Amino acid sequence: MTNVNAIITYAEKHCKKHGMCLTTQRKQVLISLAQSKTALTVYKIIALYKQLFNENIAAMSVYRILEFLENEKFIHKLQLTNKYIICTHIATDHDHHKSQFLICSMCDLVKEINFEKSLISKIKQGMKTANFVLSNTQLEIHCICNTCINKIA
């Protein structure tokens, strides 16, 4: 897990390099997401922001900031649940392609992984057989993490 300072340093450098500005609000929203191991809804982000920085932020501002952070590939939006999560690969020099997300149905832990190309091809092939076409390789898979499995056992 990359630490928050490294994430912010990277984000600031990235923005500067591309002629953009990591404003205080943008930075603070990014820090809020970097602190969380689970994906957050906009309302959870607002609550965490308030808790961390003792400041209120309007939902409209958060939406705008999230759009910016997503465009810069700092964060990902989970489409199925409308939640946001920091990119696992942020602060590493990565050529970001679409990731897959494993989402624990019990504790909401999210893990960003990258399936091998051959596995994606197999999934596509399986869909083709069923007369479907994979329209987005950002797969969000609901499953149960090992920690939760061990709790049940």
Binding site for Zn ion (CB under 5 A): 87, 89, 99, 104, 106-107, 109, 145, 148
Cβ-based nearer residue to Zn ion, 32 or 99: 99
Q: Name the residue nearer to Zn ion (CB basis): 45 or 87.
A: 87
Cα distances (Å, whole numbers) of residue 117 to 7, 88, 98, 123, 129: 28, 19, 11, 10, 18
Distance CA 44, CA 62 (A): 11
Q: How far is the CB of 132 from Zn ion (least distance, A)?
A: 25
The amino acid that residue 54 corresponds to is N
Shortest gap between Cβ of 54 and Zn ion (angstroms)? 30
Q: Which is nearer to Zn ion, 105 or 125 (CB)?
A: 105
Smallest distance, Å, CB 130 to Zn ion?
28
Token pair recorded at residue 88: 């696992």
